[in-house]
Amino acid sequence: MCPFGGAGGEPGKNVVVARRSFDPRAYDARLVVQSLLDGVDCHELDRLDGFDQEMHVRPIARFALVSAVLVPAWCASSAFGAEDPAEWTKTPSGLEYRVVGRGPDGPSPTVDSGVRVHYSGKLEDGRVFDSSRIRGAPAEFSVSGVIKGWTEGLQLMHAGDRFEFRIPPDLGYGARGAGNVIPPNSTLLFEVELFEIVPPFQHVALDEAKAKSTESGLKYEIVEAGTGDALTDQAMELRFALFDESGKVLTSSLREGQILGRGAEVAERMGGSMFRELPDLMRVGTKLRCVAPASMAFHDPTRVGMQADTPTHWEITATRGVKIPAFVAPDESKLTTTESGLKYQVLSRGSDPNAKQAKAGDGVAVDYAGWLMDGTPFDSSYSRGTRFVTELKKGGLIDGWIEGMQLMKEGDRFLFVVPPTLGYGAGGSPPKIPGDATLVFVIELHKIP
């Protein structure tokens, strides 16, 4: 459960992703993943961040809740979009771009490719409406699945390039805009850094001579062994494609976003027990081909037009591992107690002597992990692989967070022990936080605007 809460420790309301109807006679790529989400709480939306359904698949509404707070200083401190001697080039479509930095020569993405990028997007008045940099994790999506300005612009780039784009309304969100974030007929400014071109997914049958099986029935082949960190104690970021028996791509991470979490968390969220087994089979960089009955992949296979024994065919690559802090029981001798009863320990200080001190009302970007006093984890931004962006104000956070973070500067890492009176109180926040629970948090403050 996230630290959202009303005054007096009232838990915040969960944000539920609405389910779409579907035709059981045929697979629907969007439904395959959507049907796995019974209900996503506010923090699980971190892994769904991105542009709206044209830009990725998921809305940017959660980021917009705090973008008004984050905008002023981030924009003021950045030359992104400002006029300088660098010349803008205009294409016949009206897209404008300029090269900020060049990588090595190489191929450009095509409309069939995927890309892995960092980006920031803002309006002409300087308001930031989305940023993978603020969230601290690159985005990955299909070149053909974004607004027209992005589809054209990405094909001008090579891996390693950094471009700025000025996208007119007819190549962006047009007269309709995008919710309350992007007004109608808006010109959009983007800074984009292209890290990797992701080839289109192609189904390749499992090589039976090389395939192995787990006791549960998951059949897999190691296509690339991977040389990175082991994933048994980390959150894993997974690039994936799901194919039907004819080899057609039903859905993929390029359409739905990458899966990220610890094995048990991914299994719970995605609904398939097969995901619990992946950390023992993979390292960062490992690529697998897997075949598993639908009952191992989905809570209810019939909701995506499959029977329990229908084979599902997967290609899965571990693209990143995220280390999650281990629980350490608070040492009372190292804790400082404030007048309110909040306890804290400075784990490390940031290195910047000019780092900003957080104050009430600030927008902040943090990483955190939370446990009950017995060490039971209940939430972690690390397991989602993106920073938590929020405001330090009542009604948005529990009181222990608001007080505690005002003790911190950018770059600091603190441990907090939050009593029930500064947390979720007698009501708790079911099902993970019981009533009158004392909470332990490790918080790392990355950025204050």
Residues with catalytic annotation?
119, 129-130, 147, 173, 190
Residue 399 CA to residue 419 CA, distance in Å, equals 10
Select from 191, 198, 150 the least CA-distant residue to 171.
150
Q: What residues have CB less than 8 Å from 419, skipping those under 6 apart? A: 341, 342, 400, 438
Residue 44: C-alpha distances to residues 58, 61, 228, 232, 380 (Å)? 12, 13, 26, 21, 10
C-alpha 405/C-alpha 114 separation (Å) is: 38
Helix (H, G, I), strand (E, B) or coil at 101: strand
Q: What is the spatial distance between Cα 405 and Cα 181, in angstroms, rounded to a whole number?
A: 28
- Can you say whether the dihedral through the CA atoms of 257, 259, 265, 267 is positive or negative? positive
Residue 38 main-chain phi, psi, to 5 deg: -70, -35
**Type of residue numbered 405:** M
Q: Would you give the DSSP letter of residue 396?
A: T
* Cα gap 335→440, rounded to integer Å: 12
Element (H, E) at 290: strand 287-293
CA 149/CA 330 separation, integer angstroms? 51
The tokens describing 16, both together, are: 């539920």
What's the per-residue H, E or C state across 227-261? Answer: CCCECCCEEEEEEEEEECCCCCEEEEHHHHCCEEE
Q: What's the CA gap between 259 and 334, in Å, rounded? A: 38
